[in-house]
Structure 1
Amino acid sequence: MQQHMTFSGIYSFPALPKLEGGMYDGGENKRLDALRLAMELGADYVDVQLQVAYEFYDSIRGKTFNKTKVIVSSHNYQLTPSMEDLGNLVARIQATGADIVKIATTALDITDVARMFQIMVHSQMADSLRKNSSDTNELWPYTRAKNTNEEYYRTMFHLLDLCVDDRGLISHILCAKFGGYVTFGTLESRVVSASGQPTLKDLLYLYNLRQLSNKLTPDTKVFGIIGKPSIGLNGVYVFLLVDDLANFLRAYSSTEFVGFGVTIPHKEAAIKCCDEVDPVAKSIGAVNCIVRRPTDGKLIGYNTDYVGAVTAIEDGLRGKHNGSSTTISPLASKLFVVIGADVAGKALAYGAKAKGARVVIANRTFENLLMQIGGDALALSDLDNYHPEDGMILTNTTSIGMQPKVDEKPVSKHALKYYSLVFDAVNTPKITRLLKEAEESGATIVTGLEMFMGRTI
């Protein structure tokens, strides 16, 4: 212990006692002696089980440990308790005088994790307000902790999935977003203290916590892939820098290469490279997804570009109308102005028309797109004076306003008052000058990032 005390860390007895669901069945004095020694040597944290917390505090009463914070922890290897029981448990642990509260439970279902997140948020709010309120029961509607220590308590929660696959994994990744004090992982996947526990390498690099460590806040947005079961697919997703798409597909024609995402500048050329093309992609004139059919190895081309943008725009319109949901798209009968006639413009125009919108193409040249998609035409130079009605939808699929030319915009601010929603496919910067001025003009805005996430999911 003395050799390792130069490292910052949490010190706990290697094995949990049987009364906590662990394997240790020795005397408690040995466990508590080890923790007291750690404090004397200047440990940053020691982890004490709730069942022996009062005994531990009695044994160090009158002694001064300026550096060490005491974590008082509770482990439940059977289930995740109800919100009421979790709240009462937090209060019980705080009543011991703990510097940090730690609760580890078993997630039998991923919805169990939500309760843990909720109790983290509730306890943080109650703790931050407690000093300024004479009625802590109003702030914390559970068993009131009789604790004279006025120090502000940070709350550390770990929900460990001890028996069912990866249902508790998100608690390790997202705990900081919900106010958790710290998370942890194992050094090796073969050596874990609980099933489903991530490795430190995965936390830092796969889930990007090295970059997000100071950025996970209550405002952090969370996206996920929903599914069951985990199929354990032996696969890899790699970046492919391709100069000639046809040559690439001929060279990598073996069945191990099962699919490709296609981006600029190969989307239009991909149509000619596929053995079969989905009717939607054929109508748009571009392919962004190629799948190798396992039965015969043929390449099938699809286009999902428009899905993310159209879905994000529909969500924006539904939010503007208090989330009203109907089988009819909110785009139906709307006047939908598309700036740009390239691949992205084609896809968005097609998607909007499929939803019942009246499409208008605004571009320097637009004849080819009109022939493929249909709709009305408008010269880009005339867009500032185009306002046949109020409540129109404006979408920019060009690179106007992209870094480094962030001051550029495709339409004047005075024209934006006629639009109820403005979408910009540019995602660097996230809020372009067009979107900023549209929001100032009273329009709902939809960013390129929202389109990207909708398409990805």
Structure 2
Amino acid sequence: MATAKALGADLVEIRLDHLGSFELRRDLHLLLVNRPLPALVTYRPKWEGGEYEGDDAKRFEALLLAIELGADYVDIELKVAQEFVDFLSGRKRDKTRLIVSSHNYHSTPSCEDLSNLVAMIQAAGADIVKIATTAVDITDVVRMFQVMVHCHVPMIGLVMGERGLISRILSSKFGGYLTFATLSEGKESAPGQPTLSSLLDLYHIKQIGSDTKVYGIVGKPVSHSKGPLLHNTAFRSVRFDAVYLPLLVDDLASFLNTYSSPDFAGFSITMPHKETALTNSDEVDPIAKSIGAVNTLIKRASDGKLLGYNTDYTGAISAIEDALNASEANNASASPLAGKVFVIIGAGGAGKALAYGARQKGARVIVANRTYERARELANLVGGQALSLTDLENFNQEEGMILANTTSIGMHPNIHETPLSKKALRSYALVFDAIYNPLVTRLLREAEEVGVTIVTGMEMFLRQAMAQFELFTGLPGNGRVLLSMTAFIREYFEVEEDEPS
């Protein structure tokens, strides 16, 4: 409890059912007298997702003693709430408030069913309504938001699981009474529970209000993304009232239709939704249309239309050009890519962005892909040449070639994988990898070992994110933002403290 207070918690939940051994009178007195924070006491049975397997009489006695010792809240399950209220009959509760809770570990009911559940919990004598459901899809969370924002009594509404994480972070925006966190990873008392430090230091939930705009990274998977770290840092550096979240999305069209309110103002789009985002945009920037992929969606405030952009293109190409200029001491006005052979591994959204950008800069584009037909489609689109990944192993057209990996091969947790052998890398002057977790992939490490200039995915990530920041906020990517992003890179990726270029 003292640790929780030091980290910034306002309240602690004491889960008696998680204690290895528990002596009622001795231990409750020890826990509640002179407690450093207000306390919520819960004694959750196995049948409601907890650890307690005894009879209810012992639980009721423990919760009654918690009330007598001045607990600020006690939590009882809806199934036995009336029985517990009858048990308390005639006993003074003083300032203790009763939370009546319902947990659904399988799904999230309809708005009508949720509203009926709220009414049942109120009728059971609750001071505070608590409903926790499970997200089968991220769109399930909207139903909880809708019920919570219209609830006329204090309500805790949470949707469990990774797809429901946003319910925990945005609780206060939609009128939630409180949200839960754990002190450290691995100590969760419910699926999808974030850590206290992430809620406070990453998402800054105490600053989230009804007017806070919501942005996020849409993909599958997204848990590895460092986008929330970077964009939330940038937002705070300019005091922009917004929060950036990881959004695990299965169906992009369904997600966009469901989260259509102005509160959800823009999204970064990552695998596997970049091409689908193009068809779900109301208007598309000409560059993004040429690439055939969108990595940024902005909701226009005036009419709610979705505008599609691609910042991968400028982020990756500028990073590669700068690295080439530095390695070749090239000060010419023309792009250092002009006339070079530019080999791209992957034919998805990022591959298309690089193919378009390289062609525009005058490079000769080669596309290699596990599925040859997809490589040929992209190569034909940009007037290039197609190869299979097998053929790429022996491809050596000329010295000074550029290699760019846009696939997920080598991404965490599969860090020992690589799309190309170390021997084949000797044919290249520069190797770029769009992956940034890990920062230095096996592909880049082996390229560096044979003397090839490397460009990490962090370079692309930082540059495309700066462009996204400008689209999200309407503010220029000024020095303060650049410094905050540079600080982010140093803190989370342990990059050497060189002067930012």
TM-score (norm 1): 0.48
More strand by share: 2
Radius of gyration: which is bigger? 1
More helix by share: 2
TM-score (norm 2): 0.44
